[in-house]
Amino acid sequence: MKTATLLDYGVGNLHSLSKGLENAGLRVKVTENARELLKASAIVLPGVGGFAAGAPKLAPVREELRARLQEGTPCLAVCLGMQLLFESSEEARGKGLGLLPGVVRRLEHRRLPHIGWNQVRSSDAEMFAGVPQNAFFYFVHSFAPSPCVDACAATCDYGRPFAAAVRAGRTWGVQFHPEKSSANGLTLLRNFARSLQAWS
C-alpha cells in the first residue's frame, strides 16, 4: 500500500481528506513539519485554511519542494493546496511554490465564497477517468487561477470561468474538494492512488 504524506497547516480538520485517501487505497501520514514532504514518496497539500496560513508553512522548503515536484514526486493539491502551486495570490501576501506561473485571483461574483456543487468540464483523461463530463463537484473558495493557464485540466464557471483542475507532470491540483464530492470525488482520489502504482 502506497503512503501519501499530508501537510497540516495547523488551521483545520483534515479528517475528511484523510479518510477519502484511505478509502481510495492509500496509507496516510499527517505531518505539521513541511520538511517531511521532501522525503515523501507522495505529497498531499490539503484545502484547509487560506493563503496566509499555507504560504508561510511552505516558505522554509519552497525551493526544495518545487524541485522535488519538478523531478516527479507525485502530489495531489486540493483547493488552497492547488492555489499554492502558483506564484502568488490576491488573497494574502506571500509566495506560492511557483511550480505554475501566474497569480490566483478573487472570483468575480456578487456572492462569495463559492460554496456548493458546480459542474466541471474536464480535459485530462487520467485524472477524470470514470467521471462523466460536466460532473458535479463540491467547492468552497473565493479565489482561483485563470482557466488560461497552460496546465489547466478542467474548468468551472462562477461569475467567470476559472481553472477547476491543473496538471503539471505528476502534480495534480483540484480547486474543488474531492473528499466532499461523493462518488465523483472518490473516483478522482482512486485515480490518483492508481497513478502512484503506475509511476512507481
Strand-pairing partners, residue 119, are 136
90 is catalytic: no
Contact 85, 171 (CB under 8 A): yes
Residue tagged active-site, from 75, 79, 152, 156: 79
Closest CA to 172 of 34, 74, 58: 74
Residue tagged active-site, from 75, 141, 152, 179: 179
Closest CA to 108 of 83, 140, 80, 142: 142
Closest CA to 33 of 64, 1, 6, 69: 6
- Helix or strand run (H / E) with residue 116: strand 114-122
- Rounded distance, CA 14 to CA 30, Å? 9
Tallying the residues shown for the chain, one arrives at 200
179 is catalytic: yes
177 is catalytic: yes
**Sign of the alpha-carbon torsion through 83, 20, 133, 75:** positive
- Rounded distance, CA 118 to CA 164, Å? 10
Active site residues: 79, 177, 179
